[in-house]
C-alpha cells in the first residue's frame, strides 16, 4: 500500500514501544480555538496520553440539539493538539472530548512488567505470557510467569490497578475501586492448579498424561522462539548479501574480552584527563561510562536516562542490547561550557563549538559523547540523550551513514520519548510546522547533506510519521540504508512509496495538504 493513500487515522496503526501506551482518561477535554478547513486547533490543559491517531468527539449543536461528531488527532504539540473531522464544520468555542485509548497488551508478551494490584500488592518483574480475551477480543485476564519461581499466575483485569513497563506507566485502570474489583484467581502457584479455564489443559496423546498449563505455555514459547529465530536468520542472510553487494562491512560481534579491554581503556583515558579537569568522577551504568565533574546528584539522575534510551532503541531494532557497543560507551558531562570547549579542542581536535551544546564523535569502532550542564535541566537531558542516540545509529548493523536529516530527526524523536518535557524539542517542532505552513514545501530536505534549525523539528516529525505508520517497515528502511542503499531507493523498497508521496502523506497528517518534497 502506498504511503500517499494513508489517511491521518491510519497513524494509530503500528508504532513501537517508543510511544507510551498509558490509557487515556475518559474525562480529558478541550476547546476549539482556531479552525482551518477540516482541521481545527484544540486547546487543552493536559495532553497526557494523546498521540497522533487518538480519537475524540466534538460536542456540536445542530438544529438546537447537541450532537457528538467524531474526529481524529493529527498533531500533538505543547499545550494544544490539531484535530480533523470530515463530517463537521467546526466552530471556535465548541467543546471536545477525547475518547479513551485501548491499551495493547499483546505488545507486552514475553516482556517483563511490574503490576500494582487493587489490593495494594505490588508484583514486580513478572513476565507476561498470555492475554486472555472474551469473544469480542477484550482482555479479561493476564497470564504471567512469576520471577525466579517458574510458576505462573492468572490476574483478572478487575484485580489490576496499574502496569509499569521499562520504568514508565503503561496502563492505569479507570475503575479500580468498583465493587467487582475483587480477585477471581490465585496470585501465584503452579499453572496447572492456579488456572482452571476449560482450555487450560490438553490431554495430549491417549497414552500419555495430561499436560499442565505450564507445559503448554513453555511449548508455545519454544515454538514461537523457533519461528522467530528462523525468520531473523533469513532476514539477516538477505541483509548480509545486500551489504556485500554495496561493499558495506557489518560490525563484527565483539567478544567479551574485546569489550572488557575497551571499557578498561576508556577508564584509563579518563584518568589522564583528571589532572586537567578537577573532580572528574565516574558514574558507571550497565551500558555507559559517564565521566563528570558536575553536581553528583544531578549526574546520577540523568545517567539513568541513557540505559533507558539504549534499551528502547535496542528493542525497536530487535537487537541484543548487550551486543551493540564495543565495551561501554564513554560520555563526558562537564560542569561548564569552558571545560567542554577545552576538551573538544585538545582531545577531539575540534575548534567549531560555537553554539554547540553537545556532540557525538565516532572514530572507527569508538564513539564518544560530550556535553555540558546548562541552566535548563530538561533541555540538558534532551541534549544528552539526543547525542548519545547518535551512537545507537552508528553501531546498528554497520558503520554506513544515514542521511543527516534522518539521523538528527531520529535522535530528536528518540530523545522526546525519554524527555518529553524538553521545551527545546517541542519548540523546534512548532517552528518547523510554522515554516511549512508558510512555504508549503519541505524545501528538498530529504535530499540535503545538511539541515537548518527549523528542519530538526520537521525531521523528527517525519520520523514519527514513518514509525507510527508502520514500525516494522521503519526498521526495514533503516536496515536498507545501513546496507548501503540510498534513502530514495530504500523508502520505495520498504514503504512502497517515493519521497514525493511521503511528503504528501506527511503533509496531510499535519494539516498541510499537497506538501511538496
Instruction: Give per-residue pLDDT as tens, 86-100.
Output: 778 888 889 988 887
pLDDT of residue 198: 33
pLDDT of residue 3: 42
- The residue-averaged pLDDT of 337-356 equals 93
Cβ atoms of residues 369 and 303 within 8 Å:
no
Higher pLDDT, 186 or 210: 210
Using pLDDT thresholds of 50, 70 and 90, give the confidence band for residue 60. Answer: confident
- Range name among 30-34, 86-90, 210-214, 313-317 with the lowest pLDDT average: 210-214
> Does pLDDT of 20 surpass 80?
no
- The residue-averaged pLDDT of 45-57 equals 78
pLDDT of residue 27: 61
Least Cα distance to 456 among 414, 426, 428, 433 occurs for: 428
Using pLDDT thresholds of 50, 70 and 90, give the confidence band for residue 208. Answer: low
pLDDT tens for each residue of 466-500 = 999 998 899 999 999 999 999 999 999 999 999 99
pLDDT tens for each residue of 381-430 = 999 999 999 999 999 999 999 999 999 999 999 999 999 888 888 889 99
pLDDT of residue 479: 96
pLDDT of residue 204: 40
pLDDT of residue 370: 97
> Does pLDDT of 173 surpass 50?
yes
pLDDT of residue 16: 29
- The residue-averaged pLDDT of 435-464 equals 93
- H helix or E strand, kind and range, residue 362: strand 358-363
How is residue 336 annotated by DSSP?
S
Query: How high does pLDDT run on average in the chain?
Result: 83
pLDDT of residue 465: 94
In the chain, the percentage of residues whose pLDDT exceeds 70 is 86
> Does pLDDT of 139 surpass 60?
yes
- The residue-averaged pLDDT of 421-445 equals 91
pLDDT of residue 15: 31
- Take residue 127 and report the three cell numbers written for it: 513476565
C-alpha distances (whole Å) from 269 to each of 71, 92, 288, 313, 332 are 57, 61, 15, 28, 12
Q: How far apart are CA 313 and CA 105, in angstroms?
A: 20
Residues 6+ apart with CB under 8 A from 423: 78, 376, 378, 379
- Take residue 47 and report the three cell numbers written for it: 495532553
Amino acid at each position: 500500500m502506498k504511503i500517499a493513500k494513508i489517511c491521518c487515522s491510519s497513524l494509530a496503526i503500528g508504532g513501537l514501544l517508543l510511544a507510551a501506551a498509558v490509557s487515556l482518561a475518559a474525562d480529558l477535554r478541550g476547546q476549539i480555538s482556531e479552525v482551518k478547513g477540516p482541521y481545527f486547533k484544540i486547546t487543552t490543559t493536559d495532553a497526557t496520553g494523546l498521540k497522533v491517531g487518538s480519537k475524540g468527539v466534538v460536542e456540536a449543536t445542530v438544529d438546537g440539539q447537541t450532537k457528538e461528531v467524531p474526529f481524529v488527532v493529527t498533531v500533538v504539540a505543547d499545550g494544544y493538539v490539531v484535530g480533523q473531522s470530515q463530517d463537521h464544520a467546526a466552530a471556535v468555542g465548541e467543546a471536545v472530548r477525547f475518547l479513551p485509548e485501548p491499551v495493547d497488551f499483546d505488545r507486552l508478551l514475553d516482556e517483563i512488567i511490574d503490576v500494582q494490584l487493587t489490593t495494594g500488592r505490588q508484583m514486580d518483574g513478572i513476565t507476561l505470557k498470555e492475554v486472555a480475551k472474551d469473544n469480542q477480543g477484550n482482555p479479561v485476564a493476564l497470564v504471567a510467569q512469576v520471577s525466579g519461581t517458574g510458576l505462573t499466575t492468572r490476574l483478572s483485569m478487575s484485580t489490576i490497578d496499574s502496569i509499569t513497563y521499562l520504568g514508565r506507566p503503561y496502563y492505569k485502570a479507570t475503575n479500580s475501586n468498583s465493587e467487582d474489583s475483587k480477585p477471581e484467581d490465585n496470585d501465584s502457584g503452579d499453572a496447572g492448579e492456579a488456572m482452571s479455564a476449560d482450555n487450560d489443559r490438553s490431554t495430549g496423546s491417549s497414552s500419555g498424561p495430561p499436560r499442565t498449563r505450564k507445559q503448554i505455555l513453555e511449548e508455545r514459547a519454544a515454538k514461537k522462539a523457533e519461528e522467530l529465530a528462523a525468520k531473523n536468520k533469513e532476514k539477516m542472510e538477505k541483509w548480509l548479501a545486500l551489504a556485500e553487494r554495496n561493499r558495506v562491512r557489518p560490525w563484527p560481534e565483539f567478544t567479551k574480552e574485546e569489550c572488557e579491554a575497551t571499557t578498561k581503556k576508556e577508564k584509563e583515558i579518563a584518568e589522564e584527563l583528571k589532572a586537567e579537569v578537577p573532580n572528574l568522577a565516574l558514574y558507571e551504568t550497565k551500558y555507559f561510562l559517564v565521566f563528570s565533574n558536575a553536581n553528583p546528584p544531578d549526574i546520577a539522575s540523568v545517567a539513568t536516562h541513557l540505559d533507558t534510551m539504549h534499551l528502547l532503541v535496542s528493542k525497536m531494532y530487535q537487537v541484543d542490547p548487550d551486543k551493540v557497543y564495543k565495551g561501554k560507551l564513554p560520555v563526558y558531562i562537564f560542569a561548564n561550557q569552558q571545560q567542554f570547549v577545552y576538551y573538544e579542542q585538545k582531545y577531539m581536535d575540534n575548534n567549531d563549538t560555537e553554539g554547540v551544546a553537545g556532540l557525538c564523535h565516532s572514530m572507527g569502532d569508538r564513539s564518544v559523547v560530550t556535553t555540558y550542564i546548562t541552566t535548563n535541566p530538561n533541555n540538558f537531558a534532551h541534549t544528552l540523550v539526543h547525542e548519545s542516540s547518535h551512537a545507537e545509529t552508528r553501531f546498528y548493523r554497520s558503520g554506513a551513514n544515514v542521511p543527516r536529516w534522518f539521523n538528527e530527526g531520529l535522535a530528536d524523536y528518540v530523545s522526546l520519548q525519554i524527555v518529553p518535557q524538553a521545551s527545546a524539542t517541542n519548540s523546534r517542532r512548532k517552528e518547523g510546522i510554522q515554516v511549512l505552513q508558510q512555504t508549503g514545501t519541505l524545501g528538498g530536505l530529504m535530499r540535503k547533506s545538511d539541515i537548518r534549525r527549523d528542519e530538526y523539528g520537521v525531521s523528527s516529525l517525519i520520523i514519527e510519521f514513518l514509525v507510527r505508520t508502520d514500525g516494522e517497515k521503519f526498521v526495514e528502511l533503516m536496515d536498507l540504508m545501513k546496507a548501503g542503499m540510498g534513502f530514495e531507493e530504500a523508502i520505495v523498497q520498504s514503504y512502497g512509496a517515493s519521497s514525493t508521496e511521503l511528503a504528501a502523506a506527511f503533509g496531510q497528517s499535519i494539516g498541510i495538504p499537497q506538501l511538496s518534497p
